[in-house]
Copies of this chain bind each other. A is one copy, B any other.
């Protein structure tokens, strides 16, 4: 039988508490950065359920690209990760909730790049073509912290335009199931390189806990990103952030989820986009059915009328779709007795 806590996990109030949460601060040194999601690392810090973590991340190029003339080969690796953070009490079969309290761009410049072999409408490593490759190109985006904008500057003309900032974690995830260690460029059931703008302030991310301590990783800060991240990068930046973690005991999910006051949201990550979408929507039908009490077919029908789809990216080894429904279209949350 499910407990009240298991149900409340998926509500915005689940982080409400009377005591002041403990704050844990951690800042990585270059050698502390990781390039896989894995349970095999020594945790960089240990958190209790309810703790607030203040930490920072480098950009997807390890902060190595700084000025015109720099090249992608200067990056020490893709998507260096801060972590892992061990969350005490998290065991396989539980859910880890991470509420994002604050994200700030940690610098005055963002980077965009075309990398041959990466992108939605150019030949890639997993959709290879014999056409000639596109060239490597790098764009620099000055960040204006007073207006909260970044400026696109065309390389082949004088055109510039300001883009509003919406900072989020491109990478947020836990150690995978089955003893796997996965590259920091991959999104899958453990989260990872989801490139989800939903991983931003005001939202809570839920992950399946696959290993003791869950092992949380963060990285790949984005100052702003278009849907699909089609050319392969967002405005890539280092971040400073505050997140609060909570362990929901005995609540098992299969794929990451997001939630805020207005929406419940599910993640699907694989190829082709068709299958990512199927994962996200079967998960969303299940969530509505289990926690809001509609029958599966009623939920399916309702989603056909009011669902929202956010195609986060179609450039990483797996593609990411977020399926959403506004809570105003749902019945009241079922509060199941724990007895």
Chain A residues with a Cβ under 8 A of chain B: 35-36, 38, 40, 112, 114, 119-123, 126-135, 137, 139, 150, 152, 154-157, 159, 161, 163, 178-183, 224-235, 270-275, 277-279, 281-282, 285, 293-298, 300-309, 311, 314, 317, 319, 323, 328-331
A130 touches B296 (CB 8 A): yes
Interface residues of chain A: helix, strand, loop or mixed (majority): loop
Measured CB to CB, the nearest residue on chain B to A35 is B179
Measured CB to CB, the nearest residue on chain B to A184 is B178
**Chain B proximity of A132: nearest CB distance (Å):** 4
Chain B contacts of A227 at CB under 8 A? 307-309
B178 touches A305 (CB 8 A): no
A179 touches B134 (CB 8 A): no
A225 touches B305 (CB 8 A): yes
Q: Return the contact of A282 from the options B128, B135, B329 (Cβ within 8 A).
A: B128
Indicate how many identical chains form the complex. 4
Interface centre among A120, A122, A123 (most CB of B within 10 A): A120
Chain B contacts of A179 at CB under 8 A? 35-36, 38, 181, 183
Chain B contacts of A152 at CB under 8 A? 301-302, 305-306, 329
* Cα–Cα, bound, A226→B154 (Å): 36
Q: Return the contact of A161 from the options B36, B120, B296, B329 (Cβ within 8 A).
A: B329
Measured CB to CB, the nearest residue on chain B to A285 is B130
Chain B contacts of A231 at CB under 8 A? 300-301, 303-304
B128 touches A123 (CB 8 A): no
B273 touches A304 (CB 8 A): no
B305 touches A235 (CB 8 A): yes
B156 touches A298 (CB 8 A): yes
Other than the given A130-B296, A152-B302, A161-B328, 18 more pairs (CB < 8 A) read A121-B130, A122-B129, A123-B131, A128-B282, A129-B282, A130-B285, A131-B133, A154-B294, A155-B297, A156-B297, A159-B298, A163-B329, A178-B183, A228-B323, A229-B304, A231-B301, A231-B304, A272-B273
Sample 27 A-B pairs with CB under 8 A, ordered by A number. A38-B181, A40-B40, A40-B181, A112-B304, A121-B282, A122-B129, A128-B279, A129-B131, A130-B134, A130-B297, A131-B132, A134-B297, A135-B297, A155-B297, A159-B293, A163-B329, A180-B181, A227-B308, A228-B304, A230-B303, A230-B307, A270-B271, A271-B271, A271-B272, A274-B314, A274-B319, A277-B314
**Chain B proximity of A301: nearest CB distance (Å):** 5
- State the 4 A-B residue pairs at the shortest beta-carbon distance, nearest first: A231-B304, A156-B295, A273-B273, A131-B131
**Chain B proximity of A84: nearest CB distance (Å):** 14
* Cα–Cα, bound, A285→B130 (Å): 9
Measured CB to CB, the nearest residue on chain B to A325 is B226
A122 touches B112 (CB 8 A): no
